[in-house]
Structure 1
Amino acid sequence: MVKLRFLFISVLLACLGGCMNVSDMASGVEYHLRDAGLLDYSKTQRLNNFRLQADSYIYIAQGAFVPIGHPYARPNVVAEEAFKGFVEFFPRVRRADKPEGFDEAMAKARQLGAHYVLYTRFAGADDRIGTWEEWEDQDDIGRVGRDRSVVQMMLVETATFRLVDTARIRSRGGFLTFYDERPEDLLGPALNQYAQRLLGLGSR
């Protein structure tokens, strides 16, 4: 409640002050809505602030690990979502068609001539009740709410096997967006943001 009050006061002051353009104001409102838990929110923790060149050739793969708390997730969903996020910023991106072991992914990347392997793992998730159908199946009021997900990633240079970066992305759904949402639906925006950070574009 305190965060919501602060949000509305901030917006009101910005409007009265007239010193903020519409796009900046919208961005600020969205940030506070996410921080308050009303919209989907993700936090990325990185080992390094390493930046890649825009022409880097990246091979994306996902380990065959069943996420704790969500055994029905698509087996290659992190690699699929990472590819969608990275292809917007890196023209040279390939992904594995199915889950692969790390050694297998490295060998495939070297065979393709890729500079880096982005090796991902869907570490954990909490698929909460978000539809009437799920409510009828589970009938547990304590399970109604926002989904959560945890993704782990390693960025490895194929020529030297050097670990360039590791990252962990923790995401949670929002109170306004949790209806008919699944943990894997939270992955796309966070992975897109990670791609931007690797280029040094920076985002909130």
Structure 2
Amino acid sequence: MRSLLLTVLILGLSGCMSVSDMAQATRNQMSDAGLLDHGEIRRSSGWRLQPDSYIFIAQSHFLPTGSRYARPNVVAEEAFNGFVEYFPMVRGAREPEGLEEALADARDAGAHYLLYTRFASADDRIGTWDEWVDQEAVDRLGTDRGVVQLMLIETATRHLIDSARIRSRGGLLTLYDKRPEDILGPPMRDYARRLLGLAD
């Protein structure tokens, strides 16, 4: 009787969800609970791009509040790494640029869109023994956090197509030896997927 109930339960579960769906749902739940890295994207519009759109990615000169040690072009680099998986025509600026300079470079490159990024804030919490020795502040223990702002601009018309704000935070199980810039990759990939209509 017990084996029959177990078989029915397994068949019922397998009919509802695939193993990969269950794994993704578990990861989402653990992220929401704060155990794994988590990123939250707020968009101003539901605009979608064609897969063959040519996107130029640049980052502003602005240094994030709360951290002077982030690499100068890290947001543009992480955005490029996330977008190149979904858009075959992507190019990134080699260094931070002002908005006008980035728009001119995007037009010169023949890009349809400019993705202009800014690392608004970063909170690098104590996550290693060395950081603890340097700071020795109990209130600095915890998970890293960061906020990134994005503007998607059509290069031909200079119209703002979409703007987004990404809040990311590390997880309790993944906090060791992480910095706020280390948790930017997955939200950037998620934003690229949303622009293609592959995610909600």
Partner of 1:5: none
Partner of 1:93: 90
The percent identity for this pair of structures is 64
Selected match of 2:187 from 180, 185, 190:
190
Selected match of 1:162 from 159, 163, 177:
159
Partner of 1:10: none
Q: What is the distance in 2 between the residues matched to 1:34 and 1:157?
A: 34
Q: Does 1:142 align with 2:139?
A: yes
Selected match of 1:107 from 104, 121, 135:
104
The structure that has the greater radius of gyration is 2
Deviation by residue 1:112-134 (Cα, 9 ceiling, x = unmatched): 11000000000001000000000
Partner of 1:180: 177
User: Residue 175 of structure 2 aligns to which amino acid in structure 1?
Assistant: F
User: Residue 198 of structure 2 aligns to which amino acid in structure 1?
Assistant: L
Kindly report the root-mean-square deviation, in angstroms, between the aligned alpha carbons of the 2 structures: 1.3
Consecutive unaligned residues of structure 2, counting only runs of 5 or more, are 1-8
| 1:15 Cα offset (Å) | 6.1
Deviation by residue 1:149-204 (Cα, 9 ceiling, x = unmatched): 0000000000000100000000011010001110001101100110011011115x
Consecutive unaligned residues of structure 1, counting only runs of 5 or more, are 1-13
Partner of 2:199: 202
Query: What's the TM-score once normalised by structure 1's chain length?
Result: 0.90
Deviation by residue 1:40-80 (Cα, 9 ceiling, x = unmatched): 01100000010000110100000000100011100000000
User: Residue 47 of structure 2 aligns to which amino acid in structure 1?
Assistant: F
| 1:21 Cα offset (Å) | 2.6
Q: What is the distance in 2 between the residues matched to 1:106 and 1:124?
A: 24
SS at match of 2:184: helix
SS at match of 1:109: helix
Q: What is the distance in 2 between the residues matched to 1:36 and 1:16?
A: 29
SS at match of 1:176: coil
Q: What is the distance in 1 between the residues matched to 2:10 and 2:130?
A: 42
Partner of 2:3: none
CA spacing shift, 1:61–1:143, aligned 2, 3 Å:
same
SS at match of 1:180: coil
Q: What is the distance in 2 between the residues matched to 1:140 and 1:15?
A: 49
Q: Does 1:127 align with 2:124?
A: yes
Partner of 1:46: 43
CA spacing shift, 1:140–1:202, aligned 2, 3 Å:
same
Q: What is the distance in 1 between the residues matched to 2:10 and 2:186?
A: 28
Selected match of 2:22 from 25, 28, 33:
25
Q: What is the distance in 1 between the residues matched to 2:192 and 2:164?
A: 12
Partner of 1:4: none
Q: What is the distance in 2 between the residues matched to 1:140 and 1:16?
A: 52
Partner of 1:61: 58
Query: What's the TM-score once normalised by structure 2's chain length?
Result: 0.92
